A and B are shown apart, each in its own frame.
Chain A
């Protein structure tokens, strides 16, 4: 249950048009309805019904305050009740939500955003620039918000007019709208503090909130987005057990579920009542990270031995039953248009690993794994040990408790398991993990050349050039850093056949967690 703790934020920066998406779906890894047949075809949407969701990724301690959201269930009810500032479209582009449009000057430090007009909160208040400024400032300064780091480059937010705000950045960033699409950044009225009675502009208003059991919302009847929000009401049930979830879907007790179990998805596909939607390679990045300043891993030969000594495909086939894509030691998804296609993959090569290991002086390797890092980490670690054994390399695998894993093991242990969620942009994906000064540089890899490329790419407005820079950056990581990223997970959603309008999304599962406003009953 703790598998997807936070940062599910997936990559965008994915820029391609709809036709590309359809014609080259397989190549891009966005397989839609690939497993479920033709059931989710488009019809004319119609109103009515109660959508019953069965979801994993929440607990009895969930809160309505977006600053504390960390998993799928809160993200989903967050998007039912509130609106974000920027939405990520089905093709991965930033689309105006409550911030209707924006412009910036060269250098991308000065930004002007226009606030959408004529929007009302559930309380009846009309949305204006003050609400946006207040909602942004919830994540700035002295705050507990998990989005603080994401927005740390914002040095000033000011109201320019009743429907316009200005944002100043300390360092330029052409991707600011993508940062503002983060699921923590939801909009509430100016001065709002009563989180138990949330007041948003979302399609559905909160009826009843029982964290860990269910969340009920009701259509307000006057949603501002055209062609959205078809259900009369939504019942979100917490079903943490994967077997119970797919069972509830088959027997018609719920209409849509997330996180199907790869081990049993084959049986589910046989059910005539269910469609399975697989989104390839946009899920969590599963990795083992070695600290480059630890004596065992200071030599790049040792790190490369670790990269050539892992049998990625075997782990994917065994642990994820094939529902994951091979990772190439960076956190960039193979489905991203910025993925460095020309970086040679580190395929399993025991001989090469053996010779690199000898060259490095045969250091001692000790890996710490935990189910608290990600589910399957222990099995992956044991398979890794077996693969290295064939190269004559001893890897000691130690299983540690999932309790307090992120505060006690990760960033401290010389070699340990970690997952990274997708980020809205390639820039965030790379700079939060690999920049020398990053808070979460979990390999202690520091390369000024790499830092320079990422900082320059951040303000580069020419996409072809940017793509090249990001390819170079990924190449540097793959061949030097201490990360062995062996797999990128797939998302597996299950829908009842009567649901229409469900599409895979480049960011999250269940239609970017906006299933309640995007789909309808046939």
Chain B
């Protein structure tokens, strides 16, 4: 187990390095650079040259990459090219915001998805099952900005229960923060529930036709007990990986929701950096996102092994 985790961490670090190279190459292929993006229409050849020289952009790309990499290996992600702000200092509060929103949405979505998924499996083909599926599919079929605007219209315009702006700062008290982030969290719940719900239901059902489940029924156990005690642990692995995928999505894929609710997360920071070709910021955001993916996937594998004795003792 420890060996597995260690090898995962090693592979993860290699992946991060590869990601950083890919991002750097991609930013070099994009048209324009930070000087031409900031100066925009008002650029002249002289101001562009002065800007590039000031930022050291007149050095070869390979040199810039390795200077950056050397900094990162010393724990220094550098400063933004556009405004000279320390990237870690700016990124950290935004990452906390992103994780807070993702965590909140996960708290709402996970019990809902897994609970109703299991319930659907127990009552396969009956009204609860049908209803849960229809509602979840409806929710996922609506684009997230539409869900967001609907929630704003109903819960913050027609009834002023929640704020439409989710702008929070470091000094926002916890209660207020929860209140401000509720609408975006509910919007995200709409988005991710269906996938996890259907995966739970279908994985459980697919183990229902196995011999040991039949044996459990023959012992005279109730359907609910068979599903939760015998089918579910064996169905856990695919469910957990889908959950991990959705959790990762909650962290990295929420830029539209951030925009609708004006939430200061990492997504908008990265989009702004890409627009302005601020390479060190793009790299930092990309690495954070990649790290989230790798961590969640590793956690998913480990949890699946812990939950399922057969995977713990491979033959």
Binding site for B on A (CB under 8 A): 1-2, 5-7, 54, 59-65, 68, 70, 142-146, 148-149, 195-196, 210-214, 237-241, 243-244, 247-248, 250-251, 253-254, 401, 403-404, 406-408, 410, 418, 439-440
Contact of B80 among A61, A251, A440 (CB under 8 A): A61
Chain B positions within 8 Å of A145 at CB level = 47
Residues in B264-289 with C-beta less than 8 Å from chain A = 264, 268-269, 272-273, 275-276, 278, 281
- By the criterion of a CB under 8 Å from any partner CB, how many residues of chain B are at the interface? 48
Contact of A148 among B47, B260, B268, B276 (CB under 8 A): B47
B182 within 8 A of A: no
A6 near B40: Cβ-Cβ < 8 Å? yes
B42 near A149: Cβ-Cβ < 8 Å? yes
**A155, chain B: closest CB distance, angstroms:** 16
Chain A positions within 8 Å of B40 at CB level = 2, 5-6, 70, 406
Chain A positions within 8 Å of B135 at CB level = none
Chain B positions within 8 Å of A63 at CB level = 82-84
B276 near A59: Cβ-Cβ < 8 Å? yes
Complex-state Cα separation, A59 to B275, whole angstroms:
9
- 19 pairs, CB–CB < 8 Å, chain A vs chain B: A1-B275, A59-B272, A59-B275, A60-B268, A61-B82, A61-B83, A142-B46, A144-B54, A148-B47, A214-B169, A238-B262, A239-B262, A241-B259, A241-B260, A244-B164, A244-B262, A251-B160, A406-B41, A406-B43
Identify the closest chain A residue to B152 (Cβ).
A247
Complex-state Cα separation, A64 to B260, whole angstroms:
26
Complex-state Cα separation, A149 to B44, whole angstroms:
8
Identify the closest chain B residue to A250 (Cβ).
B157
Identify the closest chain A residue to B36 (Cβ).
A407
Contact of B163 among A5, A146, A251, A404 (CB under 8 A): A251
**B307, chain A: closest CB distance, angstroms:** 40
Contact of B42 among A54, A70, A250, A253 (CB under 8 A): A70
B39 within 8 A of A: yes
Complex-state Cα separation, A485 to B169, whole angstroms:
44
Centre residue among B156, B163, B272 by max chain A CB count within 10 A: B272
Chain A positions within 8 Å of B80 at CB level = 61
A144 near B167: Cβ-Cβ < 8 Å? no
| Interface stretch (choices B10-18, B27-35, B100-108, B207-215) | B27-35
**B26, chain A: closest CB distance, angstroms:** 12
B157 near A212: Cβ-Cβ < 8 Å? no
Centre residue among A5, A144, A241 by max chain B CB count within 10 A: A144
* A241-B269 contact, Cβ under 8 Å, with A143-B47, A145-B47, A407-B32: no
Binding site for A on B (CB under 8 A): 30-32, 35-44, 46-48, 50-51, 54, 80, 82-85, 90, 149, 152, 156-157, 160, 163-165, 167, 169, 259-262, 264, 268-269, 272-273, 275-276, 278, 281
Chain A positions within 8 Å of B276 at CB level = 59, 61
B156 near A62: Cβ-Cβ < 8 Å? no
Centre residue among B41, B268, B275 by max chain A CB count within 10 A: B41
Chain B positions within 8 Å of A64 at CB level = 83
Chain B positions within 8 Å of A248 at CB level = 164-165, 262
Contact of B157 among A60, A70, A251, A418 (CB under 8 A): A251
Complex-state Cα separation, A401 to B30, whole angstroms:
11
* A439-B44 contact, Cβ under 8 Å, with A61-B38, A144-B39, A146-B39: yes
**A355, chain B: closest CB distance, angstroms:** 35
**B42, chain A: closest CB distance, angstroms:** 4
Identify the closest chain A residue to B80 (Cβ).
A61
* A408-B32 contact, Cβ under 8 Å, with A5-B41, A237-B262, A248-B164: yes
Complex-state Cα separation, A2 to B272, whole angstroms:
10
Complex-state Cα separation, A243 to B146, whole angstroms:
12
Identify the closest chain B residue to A237 (Cβ).
B167
Chain B positions within 8 Å of A237 at CB level = 165, 167, 262
Top-7 shortest CB links A-B = A404-B31, A63-B83, A61-B82, A144-B51, A404-B32, A60-B272, A5-B40
**B276, chain A: closest CB distance, angstroms:** 4
Centre residue among A59, A149, A254 by max chain B CB count within 10 A: A59
Chain B positions within 8 Å of A247 at CB level = 152, 156-157, 164-165
Chain A positions within 8 Å of B51 at CB level = 144
A148 near B167: Cβ-Cβ < 8 Å? no
Chain B positions within 8 Å of A212 at CB level = 264, 268-269, 272
Identify the closest chain A residue to B81 (Cβ).
A61
**B177, chain A: closest CB distance, angstroms:** 14
Centre residue among A195, A248, A401, A418 by max chain B CB count within 10 A: A248
**B258, chain A: closest CB distance, angstroms:** 10
Identify the closest chain A residue to B52 (Cβ).
A144
**A285, chain B: closest CB distance, angstroms:** 12
Q: A210-B90, A213-B167 are in contact. List 5 more A-B contacts (CB 8 A).
A: A7-B41, A61-B281, A68-B38, A247-B156, A403-B31
Complex-state Cα separation, A195 to B83, whole angstroms:
9
Identify the closest chain B residue to A58 (Cβ).
B272
Chain B positions within 8 Å of A144 at CB level = 35, 39, 47-48, 50-51, 54
Identify the closest chain A residue to B97 (Cβ).
A213
Identify the closest chain B residue to A143 (Cβ).
B50
Identify the closest chain B residue to A248 (Cβ).
B165
Complex-state Cα separation, A521 to B144, whole angstroms:
37
**A256, chain B: closest CB distance, angstroms:** 14
Chain A positions within 8 Å of B165 at CB level = 54, 237, 239, 244, 247-248, 253-254
A253 near B83: Cβ-Cβ < 8 Å? no
Complex-state Cα separation, A291 to B103, whole angstroms:
55
Chain B positions within 8 Å of A410 at CB level = 41
B261 near A406: Cβ-Cβ < 8 Å? no
